A and B are shown apart, each in its own frame.
Chain A
Amino acid sequence: MSTYAQKKGFGGTIWDYLTTVDHKKIAILYLMAGGLFFLVGGMEAVFIRIQLAVPNNDFVSAGTFNEIITMHGTTMIFLAAMPLLFAFMNAVMPLQIGARDVAFPFLNALGFWLFFFGGVFLNLSWFLGGAPDAGWTSYASLAVHSKGHGVDFYVLGLQISGLGTLIGGINFLATVITMRAPGMTYMRMPLFTWTTFVASAMILFAFPPLTVGLTLMMFDRLFGANFFEVAMGGNTIIWEHLFWVFGHPEVYILILPAFGIFSEIFSTFSRKRLFGYSSMVFATVLIGFLGFMVWAHHMFTTGLGPVANAIFAVATMAIGIPTGIKIFNWLFTMWGGSVKFTTPMYYAFGFIPSFVCGGVTGVMVATAAADYQYHDTYFVVAHFHYVIVGGVVLALLAGTHYWWPKMFGTMLNETLGKITFWLFFIGFHLTFFIQHFLGVWGMPRRVFTYLPGQGFDTSNMVSSIGAGFMSAGVIVLLLNVVITQVKNVKVGNDPWEDGRTLEWAISSPPPYYNFKQLPLVRGLDAYWIEKMEGKKAMTPAEPVGDIHMPNSSFIPFMITLGLFIAAFGALYHADDKSWALPVLIIGLLVTFGSMLVRSVKDDHGYHIHKEELMDEEKGAEA
C-alpha cells in the first residue's frame, strides 16, 4: 500500500478526497466546506446590515429579507459553526488522545458527506424558487403557512445534514471511549478533547428531537399530516418545544468546543498548565447536563405559565455558575504565567471581555419577567451574537491560526493574523454592542425595515459600519491563507514552541497513520512532561509493529447522493409532479443499495508492515 504516498494528479487528488476515510483529510474537507458556508452566511449578514443601515430602505424586498435572515441563521449554525468545529475535532482530537484514527473512519466520511449535501441542498433553494423564510427557528404556524418550497428545503436539508452531525457525534464519543493511548486516562485528556466528548454526547441526545420536529413538519407540508394544523386538532407549541429541546443544547454544543480551544491556547501561550483542570472538567460536564434543562427560556412569552417560567429562569441562571468558574480559571491560568501574545492568544484574550458581556446578558434574559421586554428584540440579537461570535467565531478564528500548522504544515502570517483580529474584533463590538440598546428602545428583531422617528436611525448605521470592519477582517484572513499556501514554508512538529499536548509531538502534518508507535502518556500535558525532562519525543508504549488501516471508500458519497436525490423527489411530490415519486424511490434505492453493498462486501482494511515503517524512517533520516 505504498501507492498511498505516491504523487497524484489533480483528478487523483479529487478522488482521494471523495473516498478518504482519514480523519485528517476529512478535517480539511470540513474546514473547506464550513469555511465556504461561513462566507455565504457572512455575505447574507452583510446584506442584512446594508438593508437596515437607513430607515425605509429598499435594498432588498421584505420577502427576500426574510429569506436572507433565515438562511443567515441556518447557515451559520448548521453549516458553518458546527462543521468548522468538526474540522478541529477531526484534525486534533484523535491526535490529542494518541489515536491512529477515529473509531469509525467510514462513518466519519459518511457524516461529512451528509452534512455537505444537506447544506448544498438547502442553499440550492436560492435558485429553485426561493429560500426558506420562516426564520431559522421556523416556528410552525408561519412555516406551515409559508408558500413555495423554501421551508421544504429547510426541513429536508437539515434532516440530511443533521443525520451527518449525529453520526459525527457518535463517532467522537466512541473514539474518546475506546481509542485513547496507553496511560491517557480521562482525567489526563486535554480540555479540547473533553469538550469534544461532552459536546458529542449532547449531539447524541439533542439532535433526535430536531429530527422528529423536522419530520413532523415535512409530513405536514408534503404529505398532508396535521401536527401543526390547529383546525385539525394540531398544536404549534409542540414544534417550539421540539425545536428548543434541540436548540438550546445546540448552543452549548457550539460553545463547549470553543471553550476547549481557548483552554488549549491559554495554557500553551502562558507556559502553564490549565488552572483548576478538574474544576474545568467538572464545569464542562455540568454545563452539558444543565444545557438540557433550560430550553423553555426561549419560550418565556409563549404563555407556559408562571411556574414553568420561574423554574426555567432559575435553572438558566444556574448555568452562569460553571461558566463563571471557567472564566476565572482562564484568567488564573495566565496569572503568574509567561504570556506570549501570538495571534491565537489575541483571540483568546479578546474572547474574555466579549464572552463575559454575552454571558451576563444571558443572565439578564434569564430573568423571566424582564425577558418579556427583551424577548424577540434586538437585545436578544445582540446577546446571542456576543455569545456565538464573541465565543464561537473568535474560537474558530483562534483555532484556525493555532492548528493551521498542524493541519497543513505551514504557518499563517502573524502580522496579517493580528490585523484580522483587530478588524474583526472592533467590527464585532461596533456591530453588536449598540444592538442591546436598540432592543430595549423598542426595535423587534427580524424586521426588514423600520420607520424613521423612533430613534433607531443612528444606531443602526453604526451597527452596519461595524459589519464592514468584520468583512474586512475576513478578507485579510483569506489573503493570509492564500499567501501562506503560495509561500509554502514548512514547519516542524512544534512550531509554537510551547506545545503541551500530543498533537505537537508528531510532524506537521502528521503521517497518515499518525503515531508509528502509540505514545505512553504519563500525565496531563503529556508532551510537555517529556519536554521538561529534556526529551525530544514521546516514550513509545509499544514496539514498532504492523499498523492496521481502514480502506478508502466511495460508498459514503453514494449513500449521501441517494438521499440528496430522494430529497428532490420528496420536495416536488407536493406539487403532484409525476416524476417526483420515482425520483424519491430511486434516491432511496441508491442509499439503501449502497448500504447493502457496504454490508455484504467484506472490508478488512489493510496493514502497513513493520518493514515499510522502518524504511520510511530511514528515508526521513537520509
Chain B
Amino acid sequence: MQAEEKFTYETWPASPERATLEAKNKFLGFWLFLGGETVLFASLFATYLALKDKVPDSTHALAKDIFDLPLTLVATMLLLTSSLTSVYAMYHMKNFAFKKMMVWLGVTVLLGFGFLGSEIYEFNHYVHEYHHTFTSSAFSSAFYTLVGFHGAHVTFGLAWIISLMIRNSKRGLNLYNAPKFYVASLYWHFIDVVWVFIFTVVYLMGMVG
C-alpha cells in the first residue's frame, strides 16, 4: 500500500497506523521512545520522592500543607476524560470518519487546555499562598520539575495535535497522516498515564503525609 493513495471507507485498511513500512516503523519507534520517556519520568519520580518535604527550615510549607484535593481532582478528571475522547478520535480514524475524528480531537484539545489552565492556577496559588517557588527549597524544585515536566509534555502534545489538525483539515485521511494522528494520540495517552502516577505519588501520598 502506498502512502499517497486515495481511500474510501471500503478500501481503508483495518490498521491504517501500521499499513505501510514507514508507518510500521513510526509506530514501533514511537513505542520505543515512550519506553525511554518512562525511564525519564521514573528518574524524576525517584528524585521527587528523595526530596519530598526536604526544606531548609520549618517556615516552609510541606506537601501535606499545600495540596488541595478538589482542584487536583478536577484536573485529573479533565485529563482522564481527554484520554477517553482521544480514544474516540482514533476509533473514528480507523473507521475513516475524518470529521468525527476531528471533532473528538477538538474536544481532547479543549480538555487539555482545561487541564493546563488548572495547573497554571495551581502553581500560581502555591507561589502566592505558600511562597512555594521553584527556588525556595529542594522540595519545591523537585515538585515543580516533576509536575512541570509533565505540564511541558501536555503543552507539547497540544501543540502537536493542533498542528496536525490544522495541516490536515482540508484533505482528509490517508496512510501518510493516519499514523501521525495515531502516534500523537499514543503520546497523549502516555501523558495521561504519567499523570495517574503523579496524582497518586505526589498528591494522594502527599496529603496523607
Q: Which residues of A contact B (CB under 8 A)?
A: 103-104, 107, 166, 170-171, 173-174, 177-179, 204-205, 207-209, 211-213, 215-216, 219-220, 223-227, 229, 231-235, 238, 241-242, 245, 592, 596, 599-600, 602, 604
- Across the interface, do B39 and A205 meet the contact criterion of CB distance under 8 Å? yes
Q: Is the CB of A226 within 8 A of B36?
A: no
Tell me, in angstroms, the Cα distance from A592 to B160 when the chains sit together.
11
> Are B35 and A204 neighbours in the complex by a CB distance under 8 Å?
yes
Are A212 and B28 in contact, with the CB atoms below 8 A?
A: no
Could you tell me if B32 and A170 are in contact, using CB atoms closer than 8 angstroms?
Answer: yes
The reply to whether B47 and A238 form a contact with Cβ atoms under 8 Å apart is: yes
What 8 new A-B contacts, CB under 8 Å, besides A232-B56, A232-B137, A233-B51?
A103-B25, A174-B25, A204-B32, A212-B47, A216-B145, A225-B141, A232-B138, A242-B43
Decide if A599 touches B47 in the complex (CB within 8 Å): no
Which residue of the partner chain A has the closest CB to B52?
A233
B33:A233 contact, CB within 8 angstroms: no
Which residue of the partner chain, among A171, A204, A212, contacts B44 with CB atoms under 8 Å?
Answer: A212
Residue B190 at the A interface, CB < 8 A?
no
- Say how far B33's CB is from chain A's closest CB, in angstroms: 6
A207 touches B36 (CB 8 A): yes
Question: How near does chain B come to A474, taking the closest CB pair, in angstroms?
Answer: 35
B56 CB contact (under 8 Å) in A204, A208, A219, A233: A233
* Nearest CB of A to B169, in Å: 11
List the A side residues contacting B6 at CB < 8 Å. Answer: none
Residue of B nearest to A230 (CB): B138
* Contact residues in A for B137 (Cβ distance below 8 Å): 226, 232-233
Is B138 a contact of A204 with CB atoms below 8 Å? no
User: Count the A-B residue pairs with Cβ separation under 8 angstroms: how many?
Assistant: 115
Partner of B176, one of A178, A235, A600, A604: A604
A170-B29, A600-B163, A600-B167 known; A235 vs B135 contact (CB < 8 Å): no
Contacting residue for B3 out of A234, A596, A604, CB 8 A: A604
Among A107, A171, A205, A227, contact of B142 (Cβ-Cβ < 8 Å): A227
Are A235 and B54 in contact, CB atoms less than 8 angstroms apart? yes
Selected contact of B40 from candidates A104, A177, A211, A229, CB within 8 Å: A211
Which secondary structure dominates chain B's binding surface? Answer: helix
Which residues of the other chain, A, contact B195 by a CB distance below 8 angstroms? none
In the complex the two chains form, is B21's CB within 8 Å of A226's CB? no
B37 at the interface (CB under 8 A from A): yes
Return chain A residues, CB-CB under 8 Å to B50: 235, 238
Do A234 and B54 have beta carbons less than 8 Å apart? Answer: yes
Q: Which residues of B contact A219 (CB under 8 A)?
A: 134, 141, 145
Question: Are B167 and A233 in contact (CB-based, < 8 A)?
Answer: no
Q: A104-B25, A174-B32, A226-B135 are in contact. Are A234 and B37 (CB under 8 A)?
A: no
Q: How far is the CB of A202 from chain B (nearest CB, A)?
A: 11
Q: Are B176 and A602 in contact, with the CB atoms below 8 A?
A: yes
Considering the complex, which residues of chain B in the window 16-73 have a beta carbon less than 8 Å from any beta carbon of chain A? 21, 24-25, 28-29, 32-33, 35-37, 39-40, 43-44, 46-47, 50-51, 54-56
B138 adjacent to A208 (CB under 8 Å): no
The 8 Å CB contact of A224, one of B21, B36, B134, B167, is B134
User: Does any Cβ of A come within 8 Å of B129's Cβ?
Assistant: no
Interface code B167-192, partner A: CB below 8 Å = 1, 0 otherwise? 10000000010001000000000000
With A178-B24, A233-B55: A212-B40 Cβ-Cβ less than 8 Å: yes
Decide if B43 touches A209 in the complex (CB within 8 Å): yes
Q: When A and B form their complex, which 8 residue pairs have the shortest distance between CB atoms, in order from nearest?
A: A233-B54, A233-B138, A208-B40, A225-B141, A224-B135, A212-B43, A234-B138, A208-B39
CB distance from B7 to the nearest CB of A (A): 15
CA gap between A515 and B47 in the complex, in Å: 48
Sample (18) of A-B pairs whose CB atoms are under 8 Å apart: A104-B25, A170-B33, A174-B29, A178-B24, A204-B32, A204-B35, A208-B37, A216-B145, A225-B141, A226-B136, A226-B141, A229-B138, A232-B55, A233-B55, A233-B56, A238-B47, A242-B43, A592-B159
CA distance A174 to B176 in the complex (A): 19
With A208-B39, A233-B138, A242-B43 known as contacts, the answer to whether A178 contacts B3 (CB < 8 A) is no
User: Which residue of B36, B44, B160, B163 is within 8 Å of A170 (Cβ)?
Assistant: B36
Residue B164 interfacial (CB < 8 Å): yes
Query: In the bound complex, do residue B56 and residue A177 qualify as a contact, i.e. CB atoms below 8 Å apart?
Result: no
Q: Report B-chain residues with C-beta under 8 Å of the C-beta of A177.
A: 28
Give Cα distance in the complex from A226 to B167, angstroms.
Answer: 42
Assess whether B139 is interfacial by the CB under 8 Å rule.
yes
Contact partners of B47 in chain A: CB under 8 A: 212, 216, 227, 238, 242
- Measured in the bound complex, the distance between the Cα atoms of B29 and A207 in whole Å is 16
B51 A227 Cβ-Cβ under 8 A = yes
Q: Does B4 contact A (CB under 8 A)?
A: yes
Q: Which B-chain residue is minimally distant from A223 (CB atoms)?
A: B134
Residue among A205, A235, A602 making CB contact with B35, cutoff 8 Å: A205
Partner of B135, one of A166, A205, A225, A596: A225
Minimum CB distance partner of A601 in chain B: B167
How far apart sit A215 and B144, CA to CA, in the bound complex (Å)?
A: 13
- A103-B29, A224-B135 in contact; A209/B39 too (CB < 8 A)? yes
- In the assembled complex, the CB of B5 is this many whole angstroms from the nearest CB of chain A, namely 11
A596 touching B163 by the CB < 8 A rule? yes
Q: Give B49 Cβ to nearest chain A Cβ, in Å.
A: 10
Asked whether, in the complex, the Cβ of B36 is within 8 Å of the Cβ of A204, the reply is yes
Nearest CB to that of A225 among chain B residues?
A: B141
Write out the residue numbers on chain B whose beta carbons fall within 8 Å of the beta carbon of A596: 163
The chain B residue sitting closest to A224, CB to CB, is B135
Cα separation A229 to B43 with both chains bound (whole Å): 19
CB distance B4 to A604 under 8 Å?
yes
The answer to whether A208 touches B36, judged by C-beta atoms less than 8 angstroms apart, is yes
Q: Would A227 and B32 count as touching, CB distance under 8 A?
A: no
Among residues of A, the one whose C-beta sits closest to the C-beta of B168 is A600
Nearest A residue to B33 via CB reads: A170
Whether the Cβ atoms of A234 and B51 lie closer than 8 Å is yes
- Which residue in chain A gives the minimum CB-CB distance to B164? A599
Residues of B within 8 A of A207 (CB): 36
Task: Please name the residue on chain B nearest to A204 by beta carbon.
Answer: B36
Complex contacts, A242 vs chain B, CB 8 Å: 43, 47
CA distance A226 to B36 in the complex (A): 26
Contacts of A178 in B (CB 8 A): 21, 24-25, 28
B residues in contact with A234, CB < 8 Å: 51, 54, 138, 141
Residues in chain A near residue B29, CB distance under 8 A: 103-104, 107, 170-171, 173-174
Instruction: Report how far A329 CA is from B29 CA in the complex, Å.
Output: 34
Task: Report if A173-B167 is in contact (Cβ < 8 Å); known contacts: A227-B141, A233-B54.
Answer: no
> With a CB–CB cut-off of 8 A, which chain B residues contact A213?
43
Distance in angstroms between the alpha carbons of A166 and B32 in the assembled complex: 10
Q: Which residue in A103, A174, A235 is a CB contact (below 8 Å) of B51? A: A235
Contact: A225 with B145, CB < 8 Å?
yes
Digitize B141-169: 1 where CB-to-A-CB distance is under 8 Å, 0 elsewhere.
11001000000000000011001100100
How far, in angstroms, from A231 to B36 measured CA to CA in the complex?
33
